[in-house]
Amino acid sequence: MSVLNQSKSFRNKKANWAVFVILILGLLAGFFVWPPLWNKPVDWLNKQAGTEILPQFFNRPFRLGLDLRGGTHLVYEADVSSISRDDISASMQGVRDVIERRVNLFGVAEPVVQVDEVGSSHRLIVELAGVRDTHQAIEMIGQTPSLDFRTEKSADVRNQILSEQEKVRQKIESGEELTAEDQAVILIDPYFEPTSLTGRFLKGAQLTSDQQTLQWQVGLEFNDEGSRLFEELTRQNVGQRLAIYLDGAPISAPTVQEAITGGKAQITGNFSVQEARELVQRLNAGALPVPITLISQQNIGSALGEKSLRQSLLAALIGILAVALFMIGWYRLPGFLAVIALLIYTAFALLIFKLIPVTLTLAGIAGFVLSVGMAVDANVLIFERMREELRWGKPLASAIEEGFKRAWTSIRDSNVSSLITCGVLFWLGTSIIKGFALTLAIGILISMFSAIIVTRNFLRLVVNEKIERKGWLFGVQKKN
């Protein structure tokens, strides 16, 4: 009997520490998810003290999708009539890569750029959340990809330009108004000088490998005029770097080993196969752009997005509240503890949504709400099994352990099958479906932790003889 009591005391101590750690982590997650919980009291304390004794908690907003934040939805149709059928897919992916980088330079958070095939038409779908200047975005996206080759500037010229640019930055920091010359200086590339060799002279690029070193390379082939220009550039810049720029940004800067004739060259480096393939796509996109035409434009106002966000959050809150009332009303004390675990689960899930970060859409919020239901479902399986053990006269501690043990296989199998479904949806679905699958998968993983770890330790914490005698707290009557 003494050994059993010692074992029970040790288990209770472990549960006490586990619950303490879980509550602290839950509070920290809550502060991160909703910073005013921390920031407002901190501001008041700092004001009373007359100095900053506590810092504000890191305020990081959720990343909202197009349907919640508002923005622009654009659909382009590509003219692939001059491209062979075998090259259409690679060309469309190349154009998608170019436009995605353009959108990123535009400063859009988490843009969606995807290729879609409708019958014989090849389309490009661009979603820009939070973009207000639609015309500027359309103008930037619609530009023809620009590819050019640049020679390395001398050290003296480079240092002079960098010195002038530093002076301009000092003016910016001091709040001085910049002149037209200052604005021109800040835009100069201090490292490379543009040349007359551009993408219009490039026939194409292909993925190759060195037969001796087996390293991946990128092969370039120019037309006749391009071959002549390339030969002159390489002859004049032996030992120097010759940079390749796409849309004004450098994508490669190989060193010229010797003058290259014949209009063919190799870009060597420690490329992985994926890096080399992406470089080939970018070069081909710059050399052989696929003309695209805007065929559809839809503006989603921020007011509509805010309304959708309020309605979806209200629906989620009502759903969680209804589940909480049911759990407390039907399962009594275990239901109350499950609700606390559910709040901690919600804080952890939203924390991960912020940290990854996950772009939340209406579909994503639906996936999160569904995962809440699955978290409760796990608790229902455990509590029903625990009730059955209590009815057969088992002690509370044994009933809790047996309930979790016997319910685990059902919880594991149902959640694993749901995760497999999420994986298929994420792999094959569009952006909206992917958002739903991602939030649901994250919610399922955290719900398993919540049901098996959090709820279990909460129940272990309340195990004592006084509680055990009150069967109504668990909604059961023991069998004789």
Give the domain ranges of the chain. Answer: 2-32+301-474, 71-153+191-298
Q: Considering only CA atoms, which of 434, 458, 424, 423 is closest in space to residue 345?
A: 458
d(CA 372, CA 87): 46
Please give the average per-residue pLDDT across 434-452, as a whole number.
Answer: 87
What's the CATH fold of domain 71-153+191-298?
A: Gyrase A; domain 2 (3.30.1360)
pLDDT of residue 169: 85
Domain 2-32+301-474: CATH class, spelled out? mainly alpha
Q: Identify whether the C-beta of residue 318 lies closer than 8 Å to the C-beta of residue 367.
A: no
Mean pLDDT computed over every residue of the chain: 80
pLDDT digits (tens, 9 = 90+) for 182-222: 878 888 888 999 888 877 787 878 888 887 777 888 888 88
Q: What is the mean pLDDT of residues 140-165?
A: 82
Distance CA 165, CA 169 (A): 6
67-100 core/surface letters (b: 16 or more CB in 10 A; e: else): bbbbbbbbbbbbebeebeeeeeebbbbbbbbbbb
Do 2-32+301-474 and 71-153+191-298 show the same overall fold? no
Helix and strand totals (H; E) in the chain: 16, 13
Nearest-CA neighbor of 288 among 399, 373, 203? 203
Res 422: pLDDT: 92
pLDDT tens sequence across 288-330: 457 788 888 887 766 666 777 788 778 878 888 888 888 888 8
- Mean of the pLDDT values across residues 413-438? 86
Better pLDDT: 87 or 237: 237
Reading the block at residue 327, the tokens are 């759990």
Rounded (5°) CA angle 168-174-177: 65
**pTM of structure:** 0.62
Is 463 a residue whose pLDDT tops 80? Answer: no
Predicted confidence (pLDDT) at residue 6 exceeds the cutoff of 60:
no
What confidence category does residue 471 fall into, taking pLDDT thresholds of 50, 70 and 90?
low
pLDDT at 417 over 90: yes
DSSP character for 450?
A: I
